[in-house]
Amino acid sequence: MTADLFDDLPVQPSSETIDDGAVVLRQFAKERENAVMAAIQWVTESAPLRHMQTPGGHTMSVAMSCCGELGWVTDARGYRYQSADPCTGKPWPSMPDVFERLAREAADAAGYRDFCPDACLINRYEPGAKMGLHQDKNESDFEQPIVSVSLGLPQVFQFGGLKRNERPVNITLAHGDVVVWGGPSRLRYHGVLRLKTGSHPLTGACRYNLTFRRAR
């Protein structure tokens, strides 16, 4: 039985401000779940999900792919955005329309007009996978928000401060939830705890997170 995993999570769309500039749009992506999932499959058929290496030589537990003009990569040379997929040498797949519309509409709902992402990072977490506290600062303009979309199993997100030593607050991100991170929240430390085992009707035993960015 895994039903308890989904207890206490909202079913109706709602919007709440987590903190200055961070708005959670519960269930915002729910009615587009099939189209979004199909687009993830389409992207990852040509840009496969892969476990990249950190500059420190560790293999990331989250598997990643990208679409759009630019993709985020990490290897021994560091973290950066680039226009070619290092796995294939080809440009990243184009950003599916359903992705671009979802990101723009969510940003708009949170008060960020005309958001035009040029990069979408696709993260896939399997049970045990996590992401340690970090800041997203490889983008050139921190005035631009980041939009995140969660699909599949719920995962505990940690929202820290502007300094690594501030104690993070835990927020469960569930299937269909969208969060817009802008303004004073844009550079806050964040991460996700290990994914717990479970099964979701759309994604199976994993969670996907899409993050839409304006990288340049």
Residues of this chain that bind ligand MD3 (CB under 6 A): 121, 123, 131, 136, 146, 148, 157, 179, 181, 185-186, 188, 190, 192, 209, 211
181 CB-near residues (< 8 Å, 6+ apart): 21, 22, 145, 146, 147, 148, 188
The enclosing H or E element of 112 equals none
Q: How far is the CB of 210 from Fe ion (least distance, A)?
A: 12
Cα 62 from chain centroid (whole Å): 11
Q: Toward ligand MD3, which CB reaches closer, 79 or 89? A: 79
Residue type, 127: P
Residues 92 and 70: beta-carbon distance below 8 Å: yes
Instruction: Confirm or reject binding of residue 139 to Fe ion (CB under 5 A).
Output: no
136 binds Fe ion (CB under 5 A): yes
Describe the chain by its helix, strand, coil percentages, rounded to 5: 15, 35, 50
Helix (H, G, I), strand (E, B) or coil at 42: helix
> For residue 83, how far is the Cα from the chain centroid?
19
Q: Of Fe ion, ligand MD3, none, which one does residue 188 interact with (CB within 5 to 8 Å by kind)?
A: ligand MD3
Enter the DSSP assignment of 17.
Answer: E
Q: Residue 52 and residue 49: Cα distance in Å, rounded?
A: 9
Q: How far is the CB of 22 from ligand MD3 (least distance, A)?
A: 7
Binding-residue pattern over the window 96 to 135 for Fe ion, x denoting contact by CB under 5 A: ----------------------------------------
In the complex, the smallest distance separating the C-beta of residue 40 from ligand MD3, rounded to whole angstroms, is: 13
User: Which CB atom, from 5 or from 193, has the smaller least distance to Fe ion?
Assistant: 193
Pick 6 or 136: Cβ nearer Fe ion? 136
CB 118 → ligand MD3: shortest distance, Å? 15
State in angstroms the smallest separation of the CB of 1 from ligand MD3: 25
Q: Which does 131 bind (CB under 5 to 8 A by kind): Fe ion, ligand MD3, none?
A: ligand MD3
Helices (H) and strands (E) in the chain, counts: 2, 13
Helix (H) or strand (E) holding 109: helix 97-109
Q: Which is nearer to ligand MD3, 36 or 121 (CB)?
A: 121
- Using the minimum distance from each CB to ligand MD3, give the nearer residue, 1 or 188: 188
The contact set with Fe ion (CB under 5 A) reads 136
